Each structure stands twice: as structure tokens, then as C-alpha cells.
Amino acid sequence: KAGVTQTPRYLIKTRGQQVTLSCSPISGHRSVSWYQQTPGQGLQFLFEYFSETQRNKGNFPGRFSGRQFSNSRSEMNVSTLELGDSALYLCASSSSGANYNEQFFGPGTRLTVL
């Protein structure tokens, strides 16, 4: 099976712009989670989608949003970018069976905000 893919891998934006990141889960996985990784804050949970519904959200401002499509692909959007949004954004997918909490991560999208 192909792993979790994320596009683009690298992105450079300027303050005030918005950005959309994409994640394709492992085939058959219906849950997609997003995490932000920064040197200062470490890995932090952003949100999780299952069957096109957001089931849980982390402690991030409303500028961070996401959605999931019927094929389980997910997008994450950040509006009005700030310098502090520079980070590695990781997407993870998991199945809905017995191993539901075993998450498989993509390589990440490295976002740099100038």
C-alpha cells in the first residue's frame, strides 16, 4: 500500500497570505489528523476528520481550518499567515478497525512564513 502523501513538501509564503495543504491518506483509512511541529512547541494536535466530519480540534485559533472529502483526502487551510505559523505540518491517517489509534504519518509540509 502507498503511504500517506502530503503536498506540497515545501512552501514559502508571506505574512497575511493564506495557504492550503493537502493530505492523501493510506487507501482504506477514513481518519485523517493534522499536527503542527515547531522547535518551541513540539508536536501539537490541530484537528481530526472522519467521514468528512471534524471530530476533534486542538487549541489553535480559527485561522486554522480543515476539511475532508468523500475519498478521505483532507486539506488544511491557514488564513492570514503569521510568522509563528512557520512549522512542519504533519498529516496522519488511521483505520477504523482494532488498530484505530495507530496513526501513520506523511513526510510533512514545511511551511515558511516570511
Report whether the peptide linkage leading into residue 61 is cis, meaning its omega lies within 30 degrees of zero: no
Taking CB under 8 A as the rule, does residue 52 contact other proteins? no
Binding track, positions 62-91, relative to other proteins; x by CB under 8 A: ----------------------------x-
Taking CB under 8 A as the rule, does residue 56 contact other proteins? yes
Query: Cβ distance 23 to 30 under 8 Å?
Result: no
CB under 8 Å to 27, separation ≥6 — which residues? 1, 2
Enumerate binding residues for other proteins (CB under 8 A): 4, 31, 33, 35, 42-45, 48, 50, 55-56, 58, 90, 92, 94, 100-108
